[in-house]
C-alpha cells in the first residue's frame, strides 16, 4: 500500500515530461497555438491528463519555456567550456541546437508565447543567462578577430528567428531541413569577420529584444 502514492507520483511526473517533450516538438514545428488535442496525442496521453497537468495553454507554454530555456542555458555554458574558441562555440550553438531554435521561437517569433513568458521571472532568469553567455562569446570572438565587430547577441537571435516561421516550406521535412541548413550557413558566413559591408544602425542587444 505504501508504494502506491510513489507510483502515482512517478506516473504523473512521467506524463508531465512526455507532454512537455511533445509540446516542445510541436511548438517548434507549428507554433505554440497548435491544438492541445494534438499535443496530448503526440505525448501518448489523454486530453484529460494533459489538462490535469496544465490547466490551460498559458500554463503549458510557461512550463515549456522554463524547461527549454534551462536546457539551453546549460548547453550554452557547456559549449562555451568545451569548444577551443569562442567562434567555434557560437557556430556549434547556432547549427546544432534545436533547443536554442525553440527558445528563439518562443522569445522572438511568437507574440503569443512572448506575451506569456516575458513577465515570468524564472524563464527570464534563464533567458538572461543565455544572453549573457552569448554576449561573452560574441565579444571574445570579436576580440580575437574571428567575428565581425558590428553585431551583438540580439542581431544573432533575430537572424535565427527569420528561419523559424512554421510551415514555410510545406510538408517535405528533409528538403526544408536542407534549405534551412543552407540559409544558416549563409548567416554564419555573414557573421564571420572579413569581406563585410557596413550595417545600418547600431547592434541589436538582448535588452533591445526584451523591451519589445
The secondary structure of 39-88 as a DSSP string is HHHHHTS-HHHHHHH-SSHHHHHHHHHHHHHHHHHHHHHHHHHHSSSHHH
Residue that the C-alpha cell 565581425 belongs to: 148
pLDDT for 4 equals 44
What's the domain range around 31? Answer: 1-55
Q: What is the pLDDT of residue 195?
A: 63
Cα–Cα distance between 108 and 113 in angstroms, integer? 9
Chain mean pLDDT for the chain:
87
Residues 119 and 136 in one domain: yes
- Examine the domain organization and report whether 178 and 79 are in the same domain: yes
Return the top range by mean pLDDT from 68-77, 149-158, 159-168.
68-77
**Residue 48 and residue 133 in one domain:** no
Residue/partner pairs of 91-97 with CB below 8 Å, 24 or more apart: 91/188, 93/134, 93/137, 94/156, 94/160, 94/184, 94/187, 94/188, 95/181, 95/184, 95/185, 95/188, 97/72
> Which of the pair, 183 or 32, is modelled with greater confidence?
32
Contact 157, 102 (CB under 8 A): no
Question: Could you tell me which residue, 61 or 174, shows the higher pLDDT?
Answer: 61
Shared domain for 86 and 181, answered yes or no, is yes
pLDDT category at 200 given cuts 50, 70, 90 is confident
More confident residue, 81 or 3: 81
Gap between the Cα atoms of 74 and 23, Å rounded: 20
Mark whether 32 and 95 lie in a shared domain: no
Query: Above pLDDT 70, what percent of the chain?
Result: 88
Q: Looking at the structure, do residues 30 and 108 belong to the same domain, yes or no? A: no
What value does the mean pLDDT take over residues 144-150? Answer: 94
Measure the CA–CA gap between 89 and 100, rounded to whole angstroms.
13
**All three cell numbers of 145:** 578577430
pLDDT at residue 3 in the model: 45
Same domain, 81 and 139: yes
- Would you place residue 30 in the very low, low, confident or very high pLDDT band (cuts 50, 70, 90)? confident
Q: Is the pLDDT of residue 6 over 60?
A: no
Q: Give dist(CA 133, CA 120) in Å, integer.
A: 20
Which of 68, 61, 93 has the alpha carbon at shortest distance from 78?
A: 93
pTM of the shown model: 0.84
Q: Kindly indicate the confidence band of residue 164, based on its pLDDT and cuts at 50, 70 and 90.
A: low
- How many domains does the chain contain in total? 2
Q: Say if residue 90 is in the same domain as residue 48.
A: no
Q: Go through 71-80 and write b for each residue having 16 or more CB atoms within 10 A of its CB, e for each that does not.
A: bbbebbeebb
- Which CATH number covers residue 42? 1.10.10.60
Kindly state the cell numbers that stand for 208.
533591445
pLDDT score at 139: 96
Same domain, 5 and 28: yes
Q: Are residues 119 and 188 in the same domain?
A: yes
Clarify whether residues 48 and 84 are in a common domain. no
pLDDT for position 2: 41
Q: What is the mean pLDDT of residues 145-164?
A: 87
Amino acid at each position: 500500500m505504501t508504494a502506491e502514492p510513489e507510483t502515482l507520483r512517478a506516473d504523473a511526473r512521467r506524463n508531465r515530461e512526455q507532454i512537455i517533450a511533445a509540446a516542445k516538438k510541436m511548438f517548434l514545428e507549428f507554433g505554440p497555438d497548435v491544438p492541445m488535442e494534438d499535443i496530448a496525442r503526440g505525448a501518448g496521453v489523454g486530453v484529460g491528463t494533459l489538462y490535469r497537468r496544465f490547466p490551460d495553454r498559458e500554463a503549458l507554454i510557461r512550463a515549456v519555456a522554463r524547461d527549454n530555456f534551462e536546457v539551453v542555458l546549460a548547453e550554452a555554458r557547456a559549449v562555451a567550456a568545451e569548444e577551443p574558441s569562442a567562434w567555434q562555440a557560437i557556430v556549434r550553438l547556432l547549427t546544432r541546437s534545436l533547443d536554442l531554435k525553440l527558445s528563439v521561437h518562443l522569445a522572438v517569433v511568437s507574440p503569443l508565447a512572448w506575451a506569456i513568458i516575458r513577465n515570468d521571472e524564472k524563464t527570464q532568469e534563464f533567458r538572461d543567462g543565455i544572453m549573457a553567455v552569448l554576449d561573452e562569446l560574441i565579444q571574445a570572438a570579436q576580440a580575437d578577430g574571428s567575428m565581425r565587430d558590428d553585431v551583438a547577441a540580439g542581431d544573432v537571435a533575430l537572424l535565427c528567428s527569420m528561419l523559424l516561421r512554421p510551415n514555410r516550406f510545406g510538408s517535405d521535412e528533409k528538403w526544408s531541413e536542407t534549405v534551412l541548413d543552407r540559409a544558416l550557413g549563409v548567416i554564419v558566413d555573414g557573421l564571420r569577420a572579413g569581406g563585410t559591408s557596413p550595417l545600418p544602425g547600431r547592434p541589436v542587444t538582448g535588452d533591445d529584444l526584451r523591451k519589445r
